[in-house]
Structure 1
Amino acid sequence: MASADGTIMPVDDVPADTTALFRIRERDNGETHEAVLIDTDDGIEAWLNHCMHFTHIGLDKGSGAECRNGEIVCTNHGAMFEADTGHCTFGPCEGARLADVAVTVENGTVRLADDRYEFVATGPKADDDVDLTSTSNVEF
């Protein structure tokens, strides 16, 4: 459920070893996106939930992204992204950077602080938000 003040979740609900999934909507065109929160040594960071190799592939598929040694792992092609900077350190998109979403932590609560978006809800996109157009990685 959307909150008027951009409240996403209590900071204590952000998992220590994976990501928390939430949805945001672009203010200018109404397009909905998934994003992830991750707890890093430097605080809570948020990134759009897609690999920079193939942007239709989510890092968090609904149960938390795989994370190892401070990096988010794309399980499709093995790309690794620094959780605190979004920088890809390994894989087919090495050198790319995850798209950031600005958040703040106030009074133990994570809030959306990015004027480009409005908070929609926690969790993955609903079935009616999913584009079923083919996005196969196989070229014919």
Structure 2
Amino acid sequence: MAVRHRLTSVETVREDGSWLFTVRDQHGTNEEVILVPCADDGDPVEAWINRCTHEEQRLHRDGVGAVIREGQIVCPKHGSMFDTCSGYCDNGEAAETTLVSVEIAVEDGQVYLTDGSVSFLSEGASSDDGDDDTPGSTSHLQF
């Protein structure tokens, strides 16, 4: 059975727009995960690996967070938009793909990591990649 780890509150995710944390997967690789508010009637928050399905592009960036418009996470490089609730993209370079999910549970307004295939490492970004988080944008969208 997976060890539950309290991450944050639903209120914090809604207020901040997104919330970032780092896990280690079963292969020993550090992965960033974003929590985003979900407007569907189901879970109020969803968790996705912090990476566009088209390229190795972070969706949540330090100092900015994840750009969310009308219930969709916007890739800062190409402008592909992923549904916050399903992770599915139906447009742009990432069309017909779905973000990789991470299992969480929400109880009494608190968000818990419950995915048995990862281990919680820290709140915030992974510090071992040397990336400056600056996308080389080719998108027609303006932020």
| TM-score, scaled to structure 2 | 0.81
**Partner SS state of residue 8, structure 1:** strand
| Residue number in structure 2 paired with 1:84 | 85
**1-structure distance, mates of 2:16, 2:95:** 23
Aligned residues: 127
Residue 30 (structure 2) pairs with residue 29 (structure 1): no
In the alignment, structure 1 segments of 5+ residues that lack a partner are none
Instruction: Report runs of 4+ in structure 1 exceeding 3 Å deviation.
Output: none
Which residue identity lines up with residue 84 of structure 1 in the other structure? C
Deviation at 1:107, TM superposition (A): 2.5
Would you say the 8 A contact 2:4–2:114 is kept in 1? Answer: no
Residue 113 (structure 2) pairs with residue 109 (structure 1): no
**1-structure distance, mates of 2:94, 2:113:** 27
Deviation at 1:108, TM superposition (A): 2.1
**2-structure distance, mates of 1:69, 1:10:** 22
**1-structure distance, mates of 2:120, 2:34:** 12
Which residue identity lines up with residue 38 of structure 1 in the other structure? V
In structure 2, relative to structure 1, the CA distance for the partners of 1:70 and 1:16 (3 Å cut) is farther
| Residue number in structure 2 paired with 1:5 | 4
| Residue number in structure 2 paired with 1:61 | 61
| Residue number in structure 1 paired with 2:99 | 98
In structure 2, relative to structure 1, the CA distance for the partners of 1:6 and 1:100 (3 Å cut) is same
Would you say the 8 A contact 2:21–2:32 is kept in 1? Answer: yes
| TM-score, scaled to structure 1 | 0.83
**Partner SS state of residue 76, structure 2:** coil
Q: What CA RMSD, in Å, does the superposition of the two structures yield over aligned residues?
A: 1.9
**2-structure distance, mates of 1:83, 1:58:** 15
Deviation at 1:5, TM superposition (A): 3.5
Which residue identity lines up with residue 31 of structure 1 in the other structure? T
In structure 2, relative to structure 1, the CA distance for the partners of 1:17 and 1:70 (3 Å cut) is farther
In the alignment, structure 2 segments of 5+ residues that lack a partner are 137-143
Q: For residues 11-42 of structure 1, what are the alpha-carbon distances to aligned partners after superposition, in whole Å with 9 as ceiling and x for unaligned? A: 2211357311111111x222110010011123
Percent identity between matched residues is 33
Would you say the 8 A contact 2:36–2:45 is kept in 1? Answer: yes
Which residue identity lines up with residue 23 of structure 2 in the other structure? I
